[in-house]
């Protein structure tokens, strides 16, 4: 079974602080996605990373794919209450159409 481990599981920070969320596996991904999910809604795609070492930025969010394509991180600068939600990483392996999700990081940003 191919597993994705996310850490931390829960994170509560003050508005304006920075944070990093991690996603790790022992297997090599062909691609990895980050999603954000709010209560009562489905996950919404934030970014897809494909190339080892790739860095993508989405406003205050920076996504990095590890050189070996086994890990990824999401860094949020100057967090805002609107960033509150469940952040999920999901990996796809070569030859597979399935996405395997981590358990998620539940982020709370306190005003």
Partner 1 sequence: GAGVSQSPRYKVAKRGQDVALRCDPISGHVSLFWYQQALGQGPEFLTYFQNEAQLDKSGLPSDRFFAERPEGSVSTLKIQRTQQEDSAVYLCASSFPGYNEQFFGPGTRLTVL
When binding is defined by CB under 8 A, the residue of 16, 99, 108, 109 that contacts partner 1 is: 99
Residue with Cβ nearer partner 1 (98 or 111): 98
CA distance 4 to 79: 25
Residue with Cβ nearer partner 1 (13 or 46): 46
CA distance 10 to 69: 24
The piece of 55-63, 66-74, 77-85, 94-102 that touches partner 1 (CB under 8 A) is 94-102
The encoded tokens of residue 36 equal: 């954000």
Per CB under 8 A, 41 contacts partner 1: yes
**CA of residue 106 relative to chain centroid, distance:** 11
Look at residues 96, 99, 90, 98 and name the one whose alpha carbon lies nearest to residue 5. 90
When binding is defined by CB under 8 A, the residue of 17, 26, 44, 81 that contacts partner 1 is: 44
- The continuous run of DSSP H or E covering 57 comes out as strand 55-58
| Residue numbers at the binding site for partner 1 (CB under 8 A) | 6, 30-31, 33, 35, 40-45, 48, 88, 90, 92, 97-104
């Amino acid at each position: 079974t191919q597993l994705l481990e996310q850490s931390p599981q829960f994170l509560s920070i003050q508005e304006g602080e920075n944070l990093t969320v991690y996603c790790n596996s022992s297997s090599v991904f062909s691609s990895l996605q980050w999603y954000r999910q709010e209560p009562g809604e489905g996950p919404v795609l934030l970014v897809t990373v494909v190339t080892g070492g790739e860095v993508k930025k989405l406003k205050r969010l920076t996504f990095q794919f590890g050189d070996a394509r086994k890990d990824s991180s999401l860094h949020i600068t100057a967090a805002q209450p609107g960033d509150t939600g469940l952040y999920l990483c999901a990996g796809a392996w070569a030859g597979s159409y399935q996405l395997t999700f981590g358990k998620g990081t539940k982020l709370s940003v306190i005003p």
